[in-house]
Homo-oligomer: A and B are copies of this chain.
Amino acid sequence: MSAKTAASAGIAERPAGGTAPAGETGEPIWDIIELLFFAYRDFVGDPDEVLSKLGFGRAHHRVLHFVNRNPGMKVADLLDILNITKQSLGRVLKQMVDQGFVQQKEGAQDRRQRLLYVTPKGEALALKLAGLQTVRINRAFGELGPGAHEAARRFLTAMIDTDSREHVLRLIARADRAAKRG
């Protein structure tokens, strides 16, 4: 019940004395480890249901999401983000193109490129999936009160590899600007 329960479920507190300055590796932080597992499981669970009815999986979701957010991106860029091989991407991408969710256009300057765009149908699906996740996030923020969004953003950002953090933030910012133009 109350949010307090979670707190008392807490643990991982260091053996007396503590304050355990950050950076120390003492005892595993079990609560966050497990909560992250369950939270992520539910977070991707909503879209998964919708996707499975279309014969799609999580891989399709990732492709659709990033193409929708970054219209005109190169195949190579998508491969970098998803961190998979072109063969793996190829199979999934082909399905989405064949079924009219994603479209490929020859690059204007460099005609070797096959720039990726979502179709209206693809955008509708992308927004439907993001909407399901947004409902969950908004419900959470609603329970947590003001400042929750900022706190979540800071926590999640800090959890990303320091090396790639800047890259990720730029990606998100760039996509936001693209969305506003669109």
Binding site for B on A (CB under 8 A): 1-12, 20-43, 45, 62, 65, 69, 83, 124, 127-128, 130-144, 146, 148-161, 164, 166, 168-173, 175-176, 179
Contacts and interface: CB of A to CB of B under 8 A. Distances in A.
Contacts of A34: 69, 168, 171-172, 175
A1 B151 CA distance: 17
Contacts of A28: 127, 130-131, 133-134
Given A23-B141, A140-B155, A179 B30 contact: yes
| Interface of chain A: mostly helix, strand, loop or mixed | helix
Given A42-B160, A158-B140, A159-B42, A131 B22 contact: no
6 contacts: A30-B130, A30-B176, A32-B149, A34-B69, A137-B159, A140-B158
A30 B146 CA distance: 18
Given A10-B153, A128-B12, A175-B30, A22 B138 contact: yes
B144 A6 contact: no
A142 B9 contact: no
Contacts of A62: 37
B6 A149 contact: no
Which 8 pairs show the lowest CB-CB distances between chains A and B? A10-B131, A22-B142, A11-B131, A140-B158, A28-B130, A35-B156, A39-B159, A9-B173
